[in-house]
């Protein structure tokens, strides 16, 4: 089976799951599309922010991958590409999507509370503590794996170079890792600027789409023209600083425009 066939088949399965199984779940759960969500009821400009459907879709579509980029190749190497593909399609439709859909709807029906608070409300404090401990440990594992993978990919220094005092150079001979790292830095900056644009200019969806597309092309060109040379340890610090920054700033300034 060639790659194009797999891509077309995957699009058909995931699209069918969204159109048919997703709509069946929404009908079964009695979801009212016109209901007022916590984003409107508790709007605070930080965590509760009314958001266009296209941005919400992009956010959920990207975050459902989870640890897939790390565990997917491992599963494929252990069991073959077909079991891995079936798990992505079947698991994505009947497990992953339902979990995300259900947790999001539970939060909406509970005034925007997090799953930990919802568990405390219906199960108790012990259940909440166990769930939060699991989330903390799982997050540590995922952050460590992704941080190491990203830093290794962006590393443009000599093998074994981990010094924090290594010189930083920009724009020298292009290397794939250095260019990829530079593109990512420009992407973060572009997301912040795009978030300001979305909030204060309030563009129409078509304008927002083409502006985002143009910004994406410009970021790619700038990143390849100005590669940043850091070693693995320096990139790890950059990655962890970004994680902290993304966790504390208002949703509209980074998370929403980045995912869109």
DSSP 12-74: HHHHHIIIIIHHHHHHHTT--TTSPPHHHHT--SSS-----HHHHHHHHHHHTTTTHHHHHHH
Question: Residue 159 pLDDT more than 50?
Answer: no
Specify the 3-state DSSP secondary structure of 170. strand
Q: Does 218 map to a domain?
A: yes
Q: Specify the number of domains making up the chain.
A: 1
Q: Does 255 map to a domain?
A: yes
Look up the domain containing 255 and give its range: 158-259
Mean pLDDT check: name the lowest of 21-35, 57-71, 200-214, 238-252: 57-71
Q: Does 98 map to a domain?
A: no
Q: Does 113 map to a domain?
A: no
pLDDT digits (tens, 9 = 90+) for 115-144: 888 899 888 999 999 999 998 998 888 888
Q: Does 164 map to a domain?
A: yes
Q: Does 145 map to a domain?
A: no
Contact 36, 243 (CB under 8 A): no
pLDDT digits (tens, 9 = 90+) for 35-45: 888 988 888 88
């Amino acid at each position: 089976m060639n790659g194009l066939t797999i891509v077309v088949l995957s699009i058909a399965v995931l699209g069918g799951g969204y159109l048919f199984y997703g709509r069946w779940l929404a009908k079964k759960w009695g979801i009212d599309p016109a209901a007022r969500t916590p984003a409107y009821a508790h709007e605070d400009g930080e965590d509760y922010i009314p958001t266009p459907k296209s941005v919400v879709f992009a956010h959920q579509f990207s975050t459902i991958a989870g640890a897939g980029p790390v565990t997917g190749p491992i599963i494929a190497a252990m069991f073959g590409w077909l079991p891995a593909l079936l798990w992505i399609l079947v698991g994505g439709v009947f497990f992953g999507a339902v979990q995300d859909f259900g947790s999001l709807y539970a939060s909406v029906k509970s005034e925007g509370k997090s799953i930990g608070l919802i568990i405390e409300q219906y199960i108790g404090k012990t259940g909440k503590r166990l769930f939060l401990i699991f989330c903390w440990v799982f997050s540590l594992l995922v952050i460590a794996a992704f941080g190491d993978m990203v830093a290794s990919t962006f590393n443009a220094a000599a093998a074994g170079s981990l010094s924090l005092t290594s010189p930083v150079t920009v724009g020298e001979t292009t290397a794939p890792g250095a260019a990829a790292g530079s593109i990512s830095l420009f992407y973060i900056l572009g997301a912040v600027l795009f978030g300001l644009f979305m909030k204060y200019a309030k563009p129409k969806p078509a304008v927002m789409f083409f502006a985002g597309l143009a910004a994406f092309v410009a970021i790619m060109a700038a990143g390849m023209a100005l590669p940043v040379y850091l070693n693995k340890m320096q990139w790890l610090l950059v990655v962890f600083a970004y994680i902290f920054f993304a966790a504390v700033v208002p949703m509209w300034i980074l998370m929403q425009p980045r995912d869109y």
